[in-house]
A and B are shown apart, each in its own frame.
Chain A
Amino acid sequence: MIETRQTGRLIAHFLLIVAVIAMGFPLYYTFIASTHTSSEILSPPLSMLPGSNIAGAYGLALTKGASSAGNVSMTLMLWNSLVMALAIAIGKIVISMLSAYAIVFFRFPLRLVCFWMIFITLMLPVEVRIVPTYQVIVSLGLLDTYAGLTVPLMASATATFLFRQFFLTIPDELVEAARLDGAGAMRFFKDILLPLSRTNIAALFVVTFIYGWTQYLWPLLVTTDPAMGTIIVALKKMVNFSDADTPWDAVMATAILALLPPVAVIVGMQKLFVKGLVETEK
């Protein structure tokens, strides 16, 4: 028994390592590229071992990123990205959780209409609604504001859908018990639903934070003030394929630097995962 278990584990480890390598390769490639010079990157094949340009590339990324963005410091752009990512992540989770709660745990005449109205928003190609959405932002006077950057991206069918799926798995008995105890709708939400949703909230926080962090087209369109720039826009500003020198080393280094905050969020949320696990086992 124990022996087969161990071989099973070994196989699992082996497969996981293979997957980690395959999945992580593009990131490894980015890192490797960030340690070579621009001309080495442009003359393939690139060596798969770190080069010697690491200080040059990251030094350039930290200084160059700033100068190319209209004298706006890297810190400010990172801050803007952070504000955008946090606002979108928190906003999305809050409004989706509330609306999913309403749709699953209440009966009201417009329930299905609301559900489908929210759901259908999954299916709108961004490119098509970008011009009219821009016009809405203009008429609301939200150009160059954090609200303009974030609010339109907060409505999320995906998150609502996920919470709906999860809420449907909550046993009816739990609701009945809470009601017998005299708990109202909001107390049930706060004391029971919220703690139970922890792993899903953590997972959603990770993807919505990254979604906000990696936005490119929207911030490009609704901001003209360099002080509102985000790190991803700054990154694209450095890249030119055909007509000018691109500091590829600095581009790769910036890509790695821009990866750090989301990775920190992933690592931070992992702890929530484990915590949630331990508590359900109690």
Chain B
Amino acid sequence: MERRAIFPNKKLPYLLVAPQMAITLVFFFWPAGQAVRQSLYQEDPFGLSVTFAGLANFHRIFADPNYLYSLQVTFIFAIGVTVMTMIPALLLAALIDRVVKGKLVYQTLLIWPYALAPAVAGILWLFMFNPGMGTLAMLIRSTGYNWDPSLNGTQAMLLVMVSAAWKQVSYNFLFFLAGMQAIPKSFIEAAAIDGAGPMRRFWTIIMPLISPTTFFLLVVNMVYAFFDTFGLIHAVTAGGPGKDTETLVLKVYNDGYVNLNMGGSSAQSVVLMVIVISLTIFQFKYVERRVHYS
């Protein structure tokens, strides 16, 4: 996206991006470079014996039959989480625009789940839904339904999707709300005077005006589902049963952090980065066309 009106300063923009670039270079690009370098080597955990391996780590990834399955699991998971997050959040933000009484209370109560530390959330899901210790799991089982995510892959997938989406609904709600609040009320009132009903106003005025936010959330949710969920999945299902909830990032985590295979794990994260970067470029090229800025 380009804008017509710009400021002519030549040096100022560099000054403005400098702090961000400095931190990015030191704390992201340097480590990322290390990860790329590491993906070309085979080494033991302590870095005592390091040998150049060329593309062997990459060959191994694509020769692994489980990798394709994990890719499939990841896409199902990412799409599921994005849908389960954005639709309820958008709906809630639209609903809250319509009520007058209790608005602040609703807002607070819809946002506060986000404040729960992920480190605690994982434990909590076990206490609610694990077939052994979960209170809700027992309730479900007492209805006669065989709730057993420790052995049933579909149920396990549903469970990790819901637990990953839960907090993210609050996050999405917050930004949809911020987007909607920024819409001048005069626009909506004008449409109402023209006789547009609430549904029509939502689709023809609110949706286009918050499309920059929607696009932002789409990208952020996808990145979240791809990268930020390993801790949660690790705590809730550990990738099981079998490999039914083993997403790509959980595999990176398992191979690097649990199995201490630095080279293999780095190679996987390089592949993962390539996948997500291409997806993002795709979204910028095609999806962003439908975004209305000003």
Q: Does B175 contact A (CB under 8 A)?
A: yes
Contact with B along A147-188 (1 / 0, CB 8 A): 000011011001011100110111111011001000011101
Flag if B120 contacts A123 (CB, 8 Å): no
Tell me, in angstroms, the Cα distance from A15 to B97 when the chains sit together.
Answer: 13
The answer to whether the Cβ of A274 comes within 8 Å of any Cβ in the partner chain is yes
Q: Given the known inter-chain contacts A19-B92, A266-B111, please indicate yes or no for A26 contacting B128, CB distance below 8 A.
A: yes
**Residue contact B185 to A281, C-beta cutoff 8 Å:** yes
Contact A128 to B7, CB < 8 A, known contacts A165-B212, A280-B184 = no
- The CA of A44 and the CA of B134, in the complex, are separated in Å by 7
Asked if A277 lies at the interface with its beta carbon under 8 angstroms from chain B, I say yes
State in angstroms the CA–CA spacing of A162 and B104 once bound together.
24
User: Which residue of B34, B112, B139, B178 is within 8 Å of A129 (Cβ)?
Assistant: B34
Given that A19-B110, A23-B169, A127-B257 are contacting pairs, would A12 and B212 also be in contact in the complex, using a CB cutoff of 8 Å?
no
Chain B residues numbered 205-251 whose CB sits less than 8 Å from any CB in chain A: 209, 212-213, 215-216, 219-220, 223, 226-227, 230, 249
With a cutoff of 8 Å between Cβ atoms, the chain B residues found around residue A110 in the complex are: 14
Q: Which of B24, B121, B226 contacts A121 (CB 8 A)?
A: B24
Does chain B have a CB within 8 A of A118? yes
Report the minimum CB–CB distance from A227 to chain B (whole Å).
21
Is there contact, CB below 8 Å, between A12 and B178? no
Binds B, one of A49-57, A62-70, A72-80, A99-107: A99-107
B135, B215, B280: most-surrounded residue (chain A CB, <10 A): B135
Say yes or no for B256: interface residue by CB 8 A criterion: yes
Please indicate the chain B residues that have their CB under 8 angstroms from the CB of A169 in the complex.
Answer: 182, 209, 212, 293-294
Residue of A nearest to B139 (CB): A45
How many chain A residues touch the partner (CB < 8 A)? 108
Q: Which residues from A are CB-within-8-Å of B113? A: 23-24, 26-27
Q: Establish whether residues B119 and A235, one from each chain, have CB atoms under 8 Å apart when the complex forms.
A: yes
Closest to A33 in B: B127
Q: Which of B54-62, B74-82, B268-276 is near enough to bind chain A?
A: B268-276
The yes or no answer to B116 lying at the interface (CB within 8 A) is yes
* List of A residues within 8 angstroms of B151 by Cβ: none
A273–B181 Cα gap in the complex (Å)? 8
- In the bound complex, do residue B266 and residue A20 qualify as a contact, i.e. CB atoms below 8 Å apart? no
Name the interface residues of B82-139: CB closer than 8 Å to any CB of A.
88, 91-92, 95-96, 98-102, 104, 106-121, 123-125, 127-128, 133-135, 137-139
Name B175's closest neighbour in chain A (CB-CB). Answer: A203
Residues of A within 8 A of B171 (CB): 207
Nearest-CB residue, chain A, relative to B213: A165
Indicate whether A199 reaches chain B with its CB closer than 8 angstroms. yes
In chain B, positions 4-47 with a C-beta closer than 8 Å to chain A are 4-7, 9-10, 12-14, 16-17, 19-21, 23-24, 26-32, 34-35
User: Nearest-CB distance from B138 to chain A (Å)?
Assistant: 5
Convert A198-224 into 0s and 1s, putting 1 for each residue whose CB lies closer than 8 angstroms to a CB of B: 011011001100100110100000000
Does residue B190 face the partner (Cβ distance < 8 Å to A)? Answer: no
Determine whether A37 belongs to the interface, using a CB cutoff of 8 Å to chain B. no
Residue-by-residue, is A29-61 near B (CB-CB < 8 Å gives 1, otherwise 0)?
110010000000110111010000000000000
**Extra pairs beyond A12-B98, A128-B256, A262-B114 (14, CB < 8 Å):** A9-B99, A23-B109, A23-B110, A26-B116, A122-B219, A154-B23, A155-B23, A161-B216, A203-B174, A203-B177, A203-B178, A259-B112, A266-B108, A277-B181
Q: List 13 A-B contacts (CB under 8 A).
A: A8-B98, A15-B95, A46-B127, A102-B12, A103-B13, A125-B249, A165-B216, A170-B294, A173-B5, A199-B178, A263-B112, A270-B108, A273-B107
- A residues apposed to B, CB below 8 Å: 8-9, 12-13, 15-16, 19-20, 23-24, 26-27, 29-30, 33, 41-42, 44-46, 48, 94-96, 98-99, 101-108, 110-111, 114, 117-129, 131-133, 135-136, 151-152, 154-155, 158, 160-162, 165-166, 168-173, 175-176, 179, 184-186, 188, 196, 199-200, 202-203, 206-207, 210, 213-214, 216, 232, 235-236, 239, 251, 255, 258-259, 262-263, 266-267, 270, 273-274, 276-277, 280-281
